[in-house]
């Protein structure tokens, strides 16, 4: 792309040089000022592309002003009576440049200024107090400064100036049209890349759901098979413990071990079955605020929120959500517990936010953010897998269960990172109820 535009601008530069060389060879010949000004115009034209990006706002004023000055001086050096110069179309240069960089009003103003500069040659003033070189450059005080102008001359002049305006406005319209088009394309590109991003996200989430479903199926079978023998072992150990006489201390202790460990295993299997069992949802329109508060209370009851400051930010007038209240409470209990555990003994700030996703309020977003160590980018997807844990006594099922429940609700859960914020933030989106319970019932 850049190569192409570079090549075409080099072509344009070459055309400019050819154009100026052409002008240089046309009469009046032997006029050094004319050649110098043409050379300056050429150099300036080539520099323009650097000036504009360097100072986009002020640069365009300078560029048009300088071109206007150069054009005015040029026609003075191409004819004894400047107003008669056939070089007057050089004024198209500042006019078209203004049309390219300014809006319609700006173009009109600049074109008026160009016309005024052109007309200034109708009034050959005797320069007073002006350095002689400047006076000569401007042509003031030259012997041929006095002339007469008739009606035909005036209409010719008016015609030329009208054409300045015509060209200025036409070019400006094209440029404005072009700019609009570019803006539209840019907006389209942004929308497209936004769509692309959400598509990728949806794909990733679909993959996660598939993975969890497959794992769930496999492990449900396994857990089920393990549970029955575990029950038998547990019962046997219990009876053994009761029957063993006080004399057989060692045997009793061992039976005790068997009993407690089997208990732990069966608790694990039960939790695993919770994860693996297909969730059957009892959906009802509910206020998510209440569910979140229950979850926070459940975690606080476990004593995990000591040293944790809780900041709540619930958007007003939130729509209700279609959820299975019990399962969703489990979701937020897991997330809040994880957040508190991540912040550890020293505690921190737990921020809980509730807001609608967009103006349409079709989705409600809950965010649980902590000030803990955060989650490494390569772990952001992994932690949702079962048995991924970094905790000494962790099981690694919490987030897998969260993901599964949220998926079953047709929602999504993801780890979002806020720039400059080290902690973790989990964002859960849940579909809003169509009844719009919490909203004023005006519609
Ligand atoms: N808020 C958090 N901040 C940092 N790491 C977290 C957070 N929540 C979860 N994690 C990471 O994800 C892992 C999996 O979490 P989870 O599935 O709930 O299992 P568990 O809590 O049993 O370890 C955790 O061990 C921890 O490393
Ligand atoms: Mg957990």
- Tell me the per-residue pLDDT of 75-93, one tens digit each, with 9 for 90 and over: 988 887 888 888 999 999 9
Which atom of ligand 1 lies closest to the CA of 394? Answer: 22
Residue among 399, 418, 428 to mutate when testing ligand 1 (max atoms within 8 A of CB)? 399
Looking at the CA of 425, which ligand is closest? 1
**What residues pair up with 367 in beta bridges, in sequence order?**
353, 427
Q: To which residue do tokens 């029957």 refer?
A: 243
- For residue 321, CA distances in Å to 163, 400, 435, 438 come to 66, 22, 9, 10
Query: Residues, the chain, total?
Result: 443
Domain boundaries, the chain: 2-148, 283-443
- For residue 409, CA distances in Å to 202, 280, 291, 360 come to 15, 10, 15, 19
Lowest mean pLDDT among 97-111, 147-161, 178-192: 147-161
Lowest mean pLDDT among 4-8, 157-161, 367-371: 4-8
Residues contacting ligand 1 via CB (< 6 Å): 334, 338-339, 342, 370, 372, 375, 383, 388-391, 394-400, 424
Q: Which pLDDT score is estimated for 275?
A: 76
Tens of pLDDT, residues 110-123: 999 999 999 888 87
- For residue 441, CA distances in Å to 202, 320, 359, 369, 436 come to 33, 13, 17, 33, 8
Tens of pLDDT, residues 187-235: 999 999 999 998 998 888 888 888 888 887 787 778 878 888 888 988 8
**Calculated CA dihedral for residues 195, 198, 204, 208, nearest 10 degrees:** -140
What's the gap in Å between 334 CA and the centre of ligand 1?
9
pTM of the prediction? 0.60
- 331 CB-contact burial (10 Å; exposed 0-12 / middle 13-18 / buried 19+): buried
Residue among 272, 380, 389 to mutate when testing ligand 1 (max atoms within 8 A of CB)? 389
Distance of CA 252 to the CA centre of its chain: 67
Which atom of ligand 1 lies closest to the CA of 373? Answer: 4
Q: Which pLDDT score is estimated for 129?
A: 56
Q: Is the pLDDT of residue 441 over 50?
A: no
What's the gap in Å between 231 CA and the centre of ligand 2?
26
What's the gap in Å between 27 CA and the centre of ligand 1?
85
Contact 372, 344 (CB under 8 A): yes
CATH number of 283-443: 3.30.565.10
Phi/psi class of residue 367: alpha, beta or left (left: φ > 0; alpha: ψ in -120 to 50)?
beta
């Amino acid at each position: 792309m850049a190569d192409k535009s570079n090549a075409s601008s080099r072509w344009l530069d070459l055309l400019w040089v050819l154009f100026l060389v052409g002008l240089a060879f046309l009469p009046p010949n032997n006029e050094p000022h004319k050649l110098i000004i043409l050379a300056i115009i050429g150099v300036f034209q080539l520099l323009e592309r650097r000036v504009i990006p360097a100072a986009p706002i002020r640069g365009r004023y300078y560029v048009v002003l300088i071109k206007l000055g150069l054009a005015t001086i040029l026609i003075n050096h191409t004819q004894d009576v400047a107003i008669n110069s056939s070089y007057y179309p050089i004024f198209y240069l500042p006019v078209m440049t203004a049309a390219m960089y300014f809006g319609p009003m700006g173009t009109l103003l600049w074109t008026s200024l160009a016309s005024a500069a052109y007309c200034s040659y109708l009034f050959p003033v005797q320069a007073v107090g002006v350095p002689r070189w400047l006076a000569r450059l401007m042509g003031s005080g030259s012997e041929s400064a006095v002339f007469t102008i008739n009606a035909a001359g005036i209409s010719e002049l008016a015609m030329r100036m009208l054409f300045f305006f015509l060209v200025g406005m036409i070019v400006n319209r094209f440029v404005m049209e072009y700019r609009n088009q570019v803006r539209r394309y840019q907006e389209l590109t942004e929308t497209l890349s936004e769509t692309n991003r959400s598509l990728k996200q949806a794909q990733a989430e679909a993959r996660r759901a598939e993975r969890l479903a497959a794992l769930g199926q496999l492990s449900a079978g396994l857990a089920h098979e393990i549970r029955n023998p575990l029950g038998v072992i547990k019962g046997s150990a219990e009876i053994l413990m009761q029957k063993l006489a006080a004399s057989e201390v060692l045997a009793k202790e061992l039976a005790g071990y068997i009993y407690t460990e089997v208990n732990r295993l069966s608790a694990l299997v039960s939790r695993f079955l919770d994860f693996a069992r297909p969730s059957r949802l009892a959906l009802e329109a509910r206020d998510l605020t209440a569910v979140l508060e229950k979850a926070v209370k459940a975690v606080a009851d476990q004593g995990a929120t000591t040293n944790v400051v809780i900041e709540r930010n619930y958007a007003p007038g939130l729509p209700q959500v279609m959820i299975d209240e019990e399962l969703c409470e489990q979701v937020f209990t897991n997330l809040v517990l994880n957040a508190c555990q991540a912040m550890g003994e020293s505690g921190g700030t737990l921020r809980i936010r509730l807001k609608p996703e967009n103006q349409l309020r079709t989705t409600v977003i809950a965010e649980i953010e902590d000030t803990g160590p955060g989650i490494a980018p390569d772990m952001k997807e992994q932690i949702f897998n079962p048995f991924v844990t970094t905790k000494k006594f962790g099981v690694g099922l919490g987030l897998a269960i969260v993901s599964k429940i949220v998926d079953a609700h047709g929602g999504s859960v993801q780890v979002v990172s806020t720039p400059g914020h080290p902690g973790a933030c989990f964002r859960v989106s849940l579909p809003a109820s169509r009844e719009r319970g919490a909203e004023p019932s005006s519609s």
